[in-house]
Amino acid sequence: MERLSGYLSAEQKAELIRKVTDAIVSVEGEGLRPVTWVIIEGVPSRDWGVGGTPVTTEALKHMAVEGR
């Protein structure tokens, strides 16, 4: 089963974790930093969708290129 887990690099995942944590702390206060959990899960290709259409790993890669 193809998973989106290979879509992001380790560096991109680390950046997401840092930025999501920073966003929560900016609203709720620095006291939540040590207890903020960010979990990045791989979702099987076609097991999620956008606008009513299932999304594949290849479609996501294509969307990312178009958006640049």
Q: What is the pTM of this model?
A: 0.70
pLDDT of residue 18: 97
Assigned CATH for 4-66: 3.30.429
> Average pLDDT of 52-68?
82
CB 21 within 8 A of CB 38: yes
Average pLDDT taken over every residue of the chain: 86
> Average pLDDT of 13-21?
96
Answer whether residue 2 shows pLDDT above 60: no
**How far, in Å, CA of 50 to CA of 3, rounded?**
16
Domain ranges in the chain are: 4-66
> Average pLDDT of 9-34?
96
